[in-house]
Chains A and B, each alone.
Chain A
Amino acid sequence: MKRTVLITALILSLPLVPGLLAGEFDGAGVKFEVTEAKLDNGLKILLVEDHSVPVISYYTFFRVGARNERPGITGISHFLEHMMFNGAEKYGPKEFDRILESNGGYSNAFTSKDMTAYYEDFASDILELAVDLDSDRLRSLALDPKYIVSEMGVVQEERRLSIDNSIQGRMFEELYSLAFMAHPYSWPVLGWMSDLDEMGREDCVEYFRTYYAPNNAVLIVSGDFETDQALDLIHLYYDDVPAQDPPEPVRTREPEQKGERRSQVHMPGELQEVLIGYHGPEVKSDDVYALDVLQQVLDGGESCRLYRSLVRELEIAVYSYAYFPWRIDPELFVFGVKMKPGICASEGEKAVYAVIDSIVRCGVTDEELKKAKNKLEADFLRSMQTVNGKAYKIGRYEILFGDYHEIFRVQDRYRAVTSDDIKAVAEKYFKPDNRNVVTLVLEKEES
């Protein structure tokens, strides 16, 4: 197995599509080649040919998520994700799923704060059908008023399930609205219920026109196909989709937090819980790699600091975790603790601060560092095992970094992280003044 990461960006001489750029990756035991192209309307295309299993994964990523919304239309990115399955010009309502499923395919989609992504997984003989179906809804989404009404009911049930009737959902919603005063990361991807109640077709039409443009999208196809033939197909079906003016950039930066903020969620429940969120950096910051390694040191398994301390030694928690997602704009580094019966959330908070303090004071050991890096490498390999996993990863990197090539560099960046780097980022971000704390108050204990 090769242990070195080769970074190559070379010009391939493919006669059909001159000037293609390709990235080839052969590191950490994974080998794949990415062919890159761009249509005149701005649609970026990344193809990974892989004939090991006769299946294809077809992803479309849009550079739009909750961060592009504003009060009044919160949740619209996610709502449009749902509406993309409700009919376009050539394939009407219900047709997308019906045709795909009756050809043995599967489709789904997700929306986050930064991006919206759609995928289809199917047997390799129906690639053209997928290209046709997906280009149809990009070209001519219907946004039929009747389906806007029924789909809004669906989305509101989704909100009731995963936020309103969920302790975790309510607590995360509270944490982000507490921590972000200015930046759109303050509201949930699902949106506020009152905005969902009021959102209309005009809002959707305008939002769709702006953000669902080929120049705001990246298409990633991974699996069993011939690259030149796939590119011909994509040209055939997407060339006529018009480009739009580029969307307005997100301008707001979250002001620096100058003092601890605290809040409570009151709900019926059994076990106390606490969330602690510190403002951290954006994905393009160099600090991200040290924070990722630190996240593993804290929460990479049962041998790591949080589990060791809170679950094993102190025996105050059912579970505890550290969570630091990559985002385009500065994001929170979150600690969560679910307490054992009868144990107060303040105990969990104290224990998390003790774990943080020991890292700020003494850093981490060489063994911890090595273990965290091994875990990051193995997790990376695991995520690249399927054609879907590869396509997803490439798309995600492309949206977050604006360049998927970071995939080829990330393991080197982790390898370069030192104990001093970890100490430095812990000291920089995990300060009391930069802290947001949400505790769960159990309603039955109140009464």
Chain B
Amino acid sequence: MKYKIITVIAMLLILAQPSGLFSAGLGAGASSSGVKHLAMKLPEYEEAVLDNGLRIFIIETEEVSLVSFRLLIPNGSAAEPAGQGGLASITASLCMKGAAGMSAEEISEAVEGIGGELDVGATHDYTVFTGSFISRDLSAGLDLLAKVVLSPDFSEDEIEREKRIVEASIQGIKEDPYDLASREFHRILGCGHPYGEPQDGTLESVSGITRKEVKKFYVRNYRPNGAIMAIVGDVNTERALRAVMKSFEGWERGPEGAAKVESLEMGRCPGRKVVVIDKPGATQSQIRIGNISAGRNTPDFFPLVVANGVLGGGFTSRLMDEIRVNRGLSYGARSRLSQYRSGGFFGVVTFTKNETLRETIDVAFAELEKIRDTEVGEEELRKSEKYISGLFPFELETNSDLARWMTNLAFYGLTPDFIEGYRERVSVVSSEDVQRVARKYFWVEDCRILVLTDYEKTKDQIEGLGPVTVVKVDEVE
């Protein structure tokens, strides 16, 4: 098998202009010194494409004698046929449960015997295998990866066993108010779109999955064309590439790449509606407020990151300040963007004791209205931007961080200059930009409010928020 080197980019993380370590005048007014402009660059990397279409990125790092790899297959739960919720996750898990003549036990034994980790999971947009091994074991790790990706057995026994585990987990999620509230919130916002559906599926959809569906999903989606791999660590690029070629030469190109996912359009959820999940005995109420927002490749990406930071990111965001610091209503209050390839969600996430449920909801709405109605002041804007920029290098610190960035950038059709330009693009977001995207995506009139609570105790407080639908926790599917 041949491969072609596409690009080689040099340079380690560079300090473009180190400011004097000890010269900055300090004190409350010292924030003007701010984050120095670190021109972020990726470490030197090599990119190759195998004949079968598999893209590979390799980065050599030396600090710790470990290597991480990550293989992204560009189809996840959004590519499941209707009514087969959970199929992508189950297919992924089953790869580890018998492949190329090895039983599930033999696979886990082979990985763990050398101190390695090999995990798999499916998101809405993609399926991903991640590995972490001591550097000397890279070939062994890649060989195992190739076995489970290229030659899974999908035995009837293992499929039934896996289904029983998933069904038990689906039942178990009802025990966790935070997770249950988040899952149901997205389901309400999605109105049937795959991005709103739970990754694990439902008891009904999982029970209907058979070997036929699993095989079909695998054959359609587990293909090298469109797949992206990154290897990062204390390795030699040439040797790593040879190891990949040796292990993955049998992987055959498929007729199709990534599945088309219907765009999740804003406006699907007009008006304001309240959904209550009634959990008698709960002493704390979970709150979610939001609607459909923008996807990962929106031109509003950077304004949205900053606006979300001002509203609900970090310990000094507006939601945190008003709900937690000033009023002591909650341990946590934040806003969250869930962004996928063909759309996304925006939501406020918080919780409070039953007695202060309405006060907390009202404060959250007041903050949503404020960021929509009034331009954010210069000082607050800069604080938020510097916070986002300052933390960015920490996202690129470990081997697995770098592997994640390399594969995800490629998946979303972005190039490494996204990383290089990240801080610069955050810093040029203006107050007008923040207000514009807040008005566009931080919904107030048209929104869904989900409350998980002991309804008998909080019914009065929920009145007047909008039309209410109540579901008993036991009846949630």
Q: Name the residue on B nearest A127 (C-beta).
A: B21
Known: A1-B135, A318-B169, A371-B112. A94 touches B325 (CB 8 A): yes
Complex CA–CA separation, A366 to B63 (angstroms): 31
**Once the chains bind, are B282 and A128 in contact (CB under 8 Å)?**
no
Interface status of A151 (Cβ within 8 A of chain B): yes
Known: A312-B104, A378-B134. A122 touches B352 (CB 8 A): no
Interface status of A239 (Cβ within 8 A of chain B): no
Instruction: Please name all residues of chain A whose beta carbon is closer than 8 Å to the beta carbon of B65 when the two chains form the complex.
Output: 1, 28-30, 381
> What sequence of 0s and 1s flags, for each residue 271-284 of chain A, a beta carbon within 8 Å of any chain B beta carbon?
10000000000000
**Stretch from B242-250, B390-398, B413-421 that touches the partner:** B390-398
**Once the chains bind, are A99 and B30 in contact (CB under 8 Å)?**
yes
**Once the chains bind, are A315 and B398 in contact (CB under 8 Å)?**
no
**Once the chains bind, are B164 and A150 in contact (CB under 8 Å)?**
no
Instruction: Please name all residues of chain B whose beta carbon is closer than 8 Å to the beta carbon of A150 when the two chains form the complex.
Output: 325-328
Shortest CB distance A296–B (Å): 9
Q: Name the residue on B nearest A237 (C-beta).
A: B26
Interface status of A415 (Cβ within 8 A of chain B): no
> What sequence of 0s and 1s flags, for each residue 358-399 of chain A, a beta carbon within 8 Å of any chain B beta carbon?
000000000100110011111101101111100000000000
Partner of B113, one of A132, A233, A370: A370
Partner of A129, one of B24, B96, B383: B24
**Once the chains bind, are B136 and A103 in contact (CB under 8 Å)?**
no
Q: Name the residue on B nearest A164 (C-beta).
A: B283
Interface status of B474 (Cβ within 8 A of chain A): yes
Interface status of B108 (Cβ within 8 A of chain A): yes
Interface status of A158 (Cβ within 8 A of chain B): yes
**Stretch from B12-20, B83-91, B261-269, B459-467 that touches the partner:** B12-20
Interface status of B281 (Cβ within 8 A of chain A): yes
Shortest CB distance B349–A (Å): 12
Q: Which of A285-311 contact B (CB under 8 A)?
A: 300-304, 308, 311
**Once the chains bind, are B397 and A161 in contact (CB under 8 Å)?**
no
**Once the chains bind, are A106 and B390 in contact (CB under 8 Å)?**
yes
**Stretch from B34-42, B50-58, B74-82 that touches the partner:** B34-42
**Stretch from B173-181, B291-299, B432-440 that touches the partner:** B173-181
Q: Which of B123-174 contact A (CB under 8 A)?
A: 132-136, 161, 164-165, 167-169, 171-172, 174
**Once the chains bind, are A54 and B64 in contact (CB under 8 Å)?**
no
Q: Name the residue on A nearest B177 (C-beta).
A: A165
**Once the chains bind, are A386 and B397 in contact (CB under 8 Å)?**
yes
Partner of B315, one of A97, A127, A382: A97
**Once the chains bind, are B116 and A381 in contact (CB under 8 Å)?**
no
Known: A300-B112, A308-B105. A156 touches B353 (CB 8 A): yes
Partner of B15, one of A54, A153, A315: A54
Shortest CB distance A156–B (Å): 7
Q: Name the residue on A nearest B280 (C-beta).
A: A268
How many chain B residues sit at the interface, stated as a range, is: 35 or more
Known: A94-B321, A123-B38, A270-B174. A129 touches B30 (CB 8 A): yes
Partner of A386, one of B30, B175, B351, B398: B398
Interface status of A413 (Cβ within 8 A of chain B): no
Shortest CB distance A226–B (Å): 7
Complex CA–CA separation, A318 to B175 (angstroms): 14
Complex CA–CA separation, A102 to B380 (angstroms): 8
Interface status of B251 (Cβ within 8 A of chain A): no
Complex CA–CA separation, A1 to B134 (angstroms): 10
Interface status of A121 (Cβ within 8 A of chain B): yes
Shortest CB distance A165–B (Å): 5
Interface status of A105 (Cβ within 8 A of chain B): yes
Instruction: Please name all residues of chain A whose beta carbon is closer than 8 Å to the beta carbon of B105 when the two chains form the complex.
Output: 303, 308, 312
Q: Name the residue on A nearest B178 (C-beta).
A: A161
**Once the chains bind, are A270 and B115 in contact (CB under 8 Å)?**
no
Partner of B175, one of A106, A149, A167, A311: A167
Instruction: Please name all residues of chain B whose beta carbon is closer than 8 Å to the beta carbon of A350 when the two chains form the complex.
Output: none
Instruction: Please name all residues of chain B whose beta carbon is closer than 8 Å to the beta carbon of A156 when the two chains form the complex.
Output: 353
Q: Which of B347-393 contact A (CB under 8 A)?
A: 351-353, 379, 382-384, 386-387, 389-391, 393
Partner of B108, one of A129, A157, A301, A370: A301
Interface status of A104 (Cβ within 8 A of chain B): yes
Q: Name the residue on A nearest B65 (C-beta).
A: A29
Interface status of B331 (Cβ within 8 A of chain A): yes
Partner of B397, one of A53, A167, A269, A271: A53
Known: A153-B329, A233-B22. A126 touches B33 (CB 8 A): yes
Complex CA–CA separation, A69 to B177 (angstroms): 31
Q: Which of A98-132 contact B (CB under 8 A)?
A: 98-99, 101-107, 121-129, 132
Complex CA–CA separation, A378 to B134 (angstroms): 7
**Once the chains bind, are B64 and A29 in contact (CB under 8 Å)?**
yes
Complex CA–CA separation, A268 to B283 (angstroms): 12
Instruction: Please name all residues of chain A whose beta carbon is closer than 8 Å to the beta carbon of B398 when the two chains form the complex.
Output: 385-386
Partner of B116, one of A229, A378, A444: A378
Instruction: Please name all residues of chain B whose beta carbon is closer than 8 Å to the beta carbon of A381 when the two chains form the complex.
Output: 64-66, 134
Shortest CB distance B24–A (Å): 7
Instruction: Please name all residues of chain A whose beta carbon is closer than 8 Å to the beta carbon of B96 when the two chains form the complex.
Output: 302
Instruction: Please name all residues of chain A whose beta carbon is closer than 8 Å to the beta carbon of B389 when the two chains form the complex.
Output: 104
Instruction: Please name all residues of chain B whose beta carbon is closer than 8 Å to the beta carbon of A387 when the two chains form the complex.
Output: 397
Interface status of A55 (Cβ within 8 A of chain B): yes
Q: Name the residue on B nearest A318 (C-beta).
A: B168
Shortest CB distance B192–A (Å): 26
Complex CA–CA separation, A32 to B391 (angstroms): 24
Instruction: Please name all residues of chain B whose beta carbon is closer than 8 Å to the beta carbon of A155 when the two chains form the complex.
Output: 331
**Once the chains bind, are B21 and A226 in contact (CB under 8 Å)?**
yes
Interface status of A443 (Cβ within 8 A of chain B): yes
Shortest CB distance A96–B (Å): 9
**Once the chains bind, are A161 and B284 in contact (CB under 8 Å)?**
yes
Interface status of A58 (Cβ within 8 A of chain B): no
Instruction: Please name all residues of chain B whose beta carbon is closer than 8 Å to the beta carbon of A300 when the two chains form the complex.
Output: 112
Interface status of A212 (Cβ within 8 A of chain B): no
**Once the chains bind, are B38 and A271 in contact (CB under 8 Å)?**
no
Shortest CB distance B73–A (Å): 22
Interface status of B31 (Cβ within 8 A of chain A): yes
**Once the chains bind, are B28 and A95 in contact (CB under 8 Å)?**
yes
Shortest CB distance B418–A (Å): 19
Q: Which of A175-202 contact B (CB under 8 A)?
A: none
Instruction: Please name all residues of chain A whose beta carbon is closer than 8 Å to the beta carbon of B174 when the two chains form the complex.
Output: 269-270
Partner of A157, one of B36, B176, B330: B330
Known: A304-B112, A338-B172. A85 touches B390 (CB 8 A): no
Interface status of A211 (Cβ within 8 A of chain B): no
Q: Name the residue on A nearest B327 (C-beta).
A: A150
Shortest CB distance A360–B (Å): 23
Q: Which of B265-304 contact A (CB under 8 A)?
A: 279-284
Complex CA–CA separation, A98 to B380 (angstroms): 9
**Once the chains bind, are A128 and B390 in contact (CB under 8 Å)?**
no
Interface status of A52 (Cβ within 8 A of chain B): yes
Instruction: Please name all residues of chain B whose beta carbon is closer than 8 Å to the beta carbon of A271 when the two chains form the complex.
Output: 168, 171-172, 175
**Once the chains bind, are A125 and B328 in contact (CB under 8 Å)?**
no
Partner of A340, one of B109, B164, B234, B473: B164
Interface status of B111 (Cβ within 8 A of chain A): yes
Interface status of B324 (Cβ within 8 A of chain A): yes
Complex CA–CA separation, A160 to B177 (angstroms): 11
**Once the chains bind, are A149 and B28 in contact (CB under 8 Å)?**
no
Complex CA–CA separation, A345 to B329 (angstroms): 37
Complex CA–CA separation, A123 to B390 (angstroms): 6
**Once the chains bind, are A153 and B112 in contact (CB under 8 Å)?**
no
Shortest CB distance B231–A (Å): 16
**Once the chains bind, are B284 and A160 in contact (CB under 8 Å)?**
yes
Q: Which 9 A-B pairs have the closest CB atoms?
A: A104-B390, A153-B328, A29-B65, A374-B115, A378-B115, A150-B328, A104-B35, A102-B383, A303-B108
Other than the known A125-B36, A154-B328, what 15 A-B pairs have Cβ atoms closer than 8 Å? Answer: A1-B234, A55-B394, A90-B27, A98-B316, A101-B315, A102-B34, A106-B391, A153-B328, A155-B331, A161-B331, A268-B473, A338-B172, A340-B164, A371-B113, A388-B394
Instruction: Offer 15 A-B interface pairs, CB within 8 angstroms, sorted by A.
Output: A29-B234, A104-B387, A104-B389, A121-B394, A123-B36, A125-B36, A150-B326, A154-B328, A157-B352, A161-B178, A225-B21, A268-B473, A371-B109, A371-B112, A385-B63
